[in-house]
Amino acid sequence: MFRALFRTEIRGLENLPPPGTRMLIAPNHVSLIDGPLLHAVLPIDASFAVDTGIAKAWWAKPFLRVVKHYTMDPTKPLAARDLIKLVAAGEPVVIFPEGRITVSGSLMKVYDGTAMIADKADAVVVPVRIEGAQRSYLSYLNSSQIKRSWFPRVTVTILPPVKLPVDQALKGKARRNAAGAALQDVMIDALVKNAMLDHTLFEALGHAYRDRDTGKVIIEDALGTKLTYRKLILGAQVLSRKLEDGTAIGENVGVLLPNSAGVAVVFMALQNSGRVPAMLNFSAGPVNVLAAMKAAQVKTVLTSKAFIEKGKLDKLMTAISAEARVVYLEDVRASIGIGDKVKGLLAGTTPRVPRQANDPAVVLFTSGSEGTPKGVVLSHRNILANAAQALARVDANANDKVFNVLPVFHSFGLTGGMMMPMLAGIPIYMYPSPLHYRIVPELIYQTGATILFGTDTFLTGYARSAHAYDFRTLRLVIAGAEAVKDRTRQVFMERYGIRILEGYGVTETAPVLAMNTPMANRPGTVGRLSPLMESRLDPVPGIEEGGRLSVRGPNVMLGYLRAENPGVLEVLPDGWHDTGDIVSIDPAGFITIKGRAKRFAKIAGEMVSLSAVEAIAASLWPQAGSVAVSIPDQRKGERIVLLTTEKNAERSAMQAQAKAIGASELTVPATIMVVDKVPLLGTGKTDYVTATTMAREQASPPERVVA
C-alpha cells in the first residue's frame, strides 16, 4: 500500500545489523504514518515503544492492535526498565527519540530516556530518516510552512548503526545527560548525511521549488522587488542565456553587486549556465579587488550602473575596466524580449549546463584583514552541506523571515543569509548595507523578520539606535566574524529580551564551523563543531591549553587561488584546513577561541594573546572600539599597541584591570593610541593591516599617544 500510494523507496537495508544484535532503531518523527510505514518496510519483526498519550489516541489504536508495542512515558524513567530488558535480550525495538511529531519541520528535542535505554542495554543505535511524509496532510505542518500533497513521495533511509560514545566514568544523571547529548548528535548527523548533497545549487533550488514553495515571496529587497520561487527560477533561466555570451563553462565571472533580489537572480543564472560566480568585495578598494580578480583570472565582471553611481565606485570601476570586460545588467535587461521569456518558461527547472556536486560553485575571497585576499573555491557540495549543517542545528522554517544585512561577497552573507534560507523555503529580506544603524532596526520591525545574522560591531550599532519594540519579532540573533562582547549580550537581553547565539566560521568552511544553538548554548564559547566535521589541535609553543585548530568535513573548501599563481587551485593536504586559530575544546565539545596564531605577540619569549588585551580594554571601556596589534621592539622582540576610541584611555587603568582579573602584566599594552575610529573592513571585521600600519607610523616609547 505504501509503495503504491507514496511511491515509498527504502534505502540502506544492508545497514540493519544481523538478527540477535542488541539494537534500538531511532527514526525521526514527521507524520502520523511513520509508525505503520516502518512496520511495513522493515524486514524484521520489531517492537514499538509508544508514548502513553499517543497510545490512547483513537487513530493510533488500529495500528497498535497489529504490532508488538510497549507504552512508555518520557517523564517517568522507571517505565523504561522493561524496554531495557527487551533490548538487552536481542529484541529489536523502534523508539521515536523526539517523542512527538515535529511541528517545525526540523529535528525536535531528543529525550535522553531513549539514549539511556541504548546505553544500559549496551545496544547500538540504528538511525532512520523518513523524508517526504512531512508534506502529507497527516503531518503537523501547515500549508504556510511547507508545500503539501495528499500522497508525496516518501523515502526511508536506514543509516549504519552507531554505539553511543559515553564516558564510562560517568554515573547517574551526568551519564544520562551525556547519552542524551550523544543521541541528539547521532540524529543530527543522520539528518545531514541524508541531505541532498549530490546535487548542484541550481538543482537544489529546483527541489526547493517542488517541495517547499507555498506561494510566498521568497526574496524581497529594499527596492521593493519581490520574487517567488517561480519568478526567481524564470529570471535565472532567462538571464543565463544572456550571460553566456563572452564566457565559457567553468569560467570565473566577477559579480560586483549589493544585497538585492537582483544579486540572487544573477548568482543562480550563473549556476544555471555552468559559470562560477566570483563575488568581489566592492568595499575592499581597487588594489585588493584587482588582486582578487588576478587570483581567480576574472575576465568579465557583472555589475549595475545604478549601484556604481549610488555607491560612488567610479574609481574602482576605472581600475576594473582596465583589466576586464564590464557587463552592466541594465544593458542586459534591455536586450531581453518576449521570446527569451518564453524560452525561460519552457526550460522549467532543468539546468542549461549539467554540472557535478564537486565542481566549483563560487569563488569567495578572504577578507584581507591580515594580508592580500586569497580566492576560496567552494563546491556545490560544500555550500549544500553547510546549509544542511546549520539547518540541522537551528530550528527554522517557512514561518520565519531572514533579514540579511551581511553582503553576499561575505561567506556568512552568502550561505547563511541567502542560500540556506532560499533552499529551506525561508523568506529573505535583502538589505544593501549593514552600516545603516538607524534604518536596519526600523526595517526589521516593518518586515517582521525573525532571524538576524550580524557581527558584534553591527549588532552594537543597531542596539544603540533601535526602539525597544523594533526587535519584537526577532527570535534568533546569530553573531559571527568577531567575538561578541559581554556588553552586547547584556544590552540585547536586558533591553530586547533576546539571547545572542555566537558562532564561528571561516570562508574556507562555507562558512559555519561551529555555533551555539537554542538547545546547546554556552556563552563565552562559539559553540560545538558542525555535524560531520572532524577537528585536530596541533600544539603551539608557549600555549599550554588548547592548540592550533585544523578541520575536515563536507563543507571544507576545494582549495585556494592566489594572485602569485593565478588560476591554479591549491588543494588541501588530506582535506585538512588549518584555520590559524588557537582554541581549546571542553569535554562537551564547546570551542573557546583564544586568538589567531598571527594574533599572538611574542614578548621576551612569552606568547601573549592580542585578543586577551582587547578583552581587557572592552571590560574597561565597553562603549569604545579597541584593537590590539604588535609591532617590532628591539629590546623584547615585539610590543603591543592598543588603538582605542576611548578618549580618556590610560595605560595605568589597563594595568589595574589586568591585576584585578589576574591577567599577566604582559597583557598590558606598551602604548595606547587614541583614535577617532577603529579601522574596519566592509564585512565588519577589524582591518588589522591598516591598524598595524597606523601603530607603526605612530610608534613611540611606551606611553599614551593621540592619533
Q: What is the pLDDT of residues 617-658, one digit of tens each?
A: 988 998 888 998 888 876 777 888 999 999 989 988 988 988
Q: Is 635 exposed, middle or buried (0-12, 13-18, 19+ CB in 10 A)?
A: exposed
Between 509 and 457, the more confident residue is 509
**Rounded mean pLDDT, 559-568:** 91
Q: What is the pLDDT of residues 310-363, one digit of tens each?
A: 989 999 999 999 999 999 999 999 999 999 899 999 999 999 999 999 999 999
Residue-level pLDDT at 4:
66
Tell me how far apart the alpha carbons of residues 602 and 638 are, in angstroms, rounded to a whole number.
Answer: 6
Kindly state the cell numbers that stand for 38: 516502518
Lowest mean pLDDT among 6-10, 30-34, 194-198, 269-273: 6-10
Tell me how far apart the alpha carbons of residues 296 and 290 are, in angstroms, rounded to a whole number.
Answer: 10
Separate counts of helices (H) and strands (E) for the chain? 24, 34
Q: Is the pLDDT of residue 537 over 90?
A: yes
Q: Omega before 160 cis (within 30°)?
A: no
Kindly state the cell numbers that stand for 143: 500549508
Residue 550 DSSP SS3: strand
**Rounded mean pLDDT, 494-514:** 93
Q: Give the confidence band of 576 by pLDDT, cuts at 50, 70, 90.
A: very high
> For this structure, is 29 an active site residue?
yes
Q: What is the pLDDT of residues 399-428, one digit of tens each?
A: 999 999 999 998 999 999 999 999 999 999
Kindly state the cell numbers that stand for 518: 537554542
Q: Is the pLDDT of residue 396 over 60?
A: yes
Q: Give the confidence band of 75 by pLDDT, cuts at 50, 70, 90.
A: low
Q: Is the pLDDT of residue 369 over 70?
A: no
Residue-level pLDDT at 637:
74
Residue-level pLDDT at 79:
66
Cα radius of gyration (the chain): 27
Tell me how far apart the alpha carbons of residues 362 and 380 are, in angstroms, rounded to a whole number.
Answer: 8
Residues in contact with 270: Cβ distance below 8 Å, sequence separation at least 6, in sequence order: 240, 243, 253, 255, 276, 277
Q: What is the pLDDT of residues 150-176, one digit of tens each?
A: 888 888 999 999 999 988 888 888 888
**pTM across the whole model:** 0.85
Using CA atoms, how far residue 404 sits from 70, 394, 434, 493, 524, in Å, is 47, 16, 9, 21, 25
The most confident of 356-365, 660-669, 688-697, by mean pLDDT: 356-365
**Rounded mean pLDDT, 178-184:** 91
Q: Mean pLDDT, the chain, as a whole number?
A: 89
Let me know: does 452 contact 480? Beta carbons within 8 Å.
no
Tell me how far apart the alpha carbons of residues 122 and 116 are, in angstroms, rounded to a whole number.
Answer: 10
| Sign of the dihedral defined by the CA atoms of residues 643, 644, 645, 646, in that order | negative
Let me know: does 454 contact 426? Beta carbons within 8 Å.
no
**Quick one: which of 619, 643, 637, 635 has its CA closest to 697?**
643
Kindly state the cell numbers that stand for 245: 555570451
Kindly state the cell numbers that stand for 407: 553582503
Residue-level pLDDT at 707:
53
The DSSP H or E segment spanning 277 is: strand 276-279
**Quick one: which of 571, 510, 198, 569 has its CA closest to 381?**
198
Residues in contact with 126: Cβ distance below 8 Å, sequence separation at least 6, in sequence order: 15, 16, 17, 23, 24, 25, 26, 158, 159, 161, 162
Say what percent of the chain tops pLDDT 90: 54
Residue-level pLDDT at 78:
64
Kindly state the cell numbers that stand for 155: 523515502
Tell me how far apart the alpha carbons of residues 139 and 154 are, in angstroms, rounded to a whole number.
Answer: 13
Residue-level pLDDT at 160:
94
Kindly state the cell numbers that stand for 346: 519552457
Q: Give the confidence band of 604 by pLDDT, cuts at 50, 70, 90.
A: low
At 318, give phi and psi (nearest 5°). Answer: -60, -45
Tell me how far apart the alpha carbons of residues 673 and 703 are, in angstroms, rounded to a whole number.
Answer: 9
**Quick one: which of 657, 596, 581, 663 has its CA closest to 622?**
657
Dihedral-angle region of residue 318 (phi above 0 means left; psi in -120 to 50 means alpha; beta otherwise): alpha
Residue-level pLDDT at 54:
75
Residue-level pLDDT at 683:
65
Using CA atoms, how far residue 323 sits from 298, 362, 396, 667, in Å, is 9, 21, 43, 46
CA 699 from chain centre, in angstroms, equals 40
Q: Give the confidence band of 243 by pLDDT, cuts at 50, 70, 90.
A: very high
Candidates 29, 410, 436, 577; catalytic one: 29
Q: Which residues pair with 251 in a beta bridge?
A: none
Kindly state the cell numbers that stand for 406: 551581511
**Rounded mean pLDDT, 2-21:** 83
Residue-level pLDDT at 705:
56
Residue-level pLDDT at 56:
75
Q: Is the pLDDT of residue 601 over 90?
A: no
Q: Which domains does the chain have, with CATH numbers?
A: 2-193 (3.40.1130.10), 201-592 (3.40.50.12780), 604-706 (3.30.300.30)
Residue-level pLDDT at 76:
65
Between 268 and 20, the more confident residue is 268
Q: Give the confidence band of 283 by pLDDT, cuts at 50, 70, 90.
A: confident
Q: Give the confidence band of 221 by pLDDT, cuts at 50, 70, 90.
A: very high
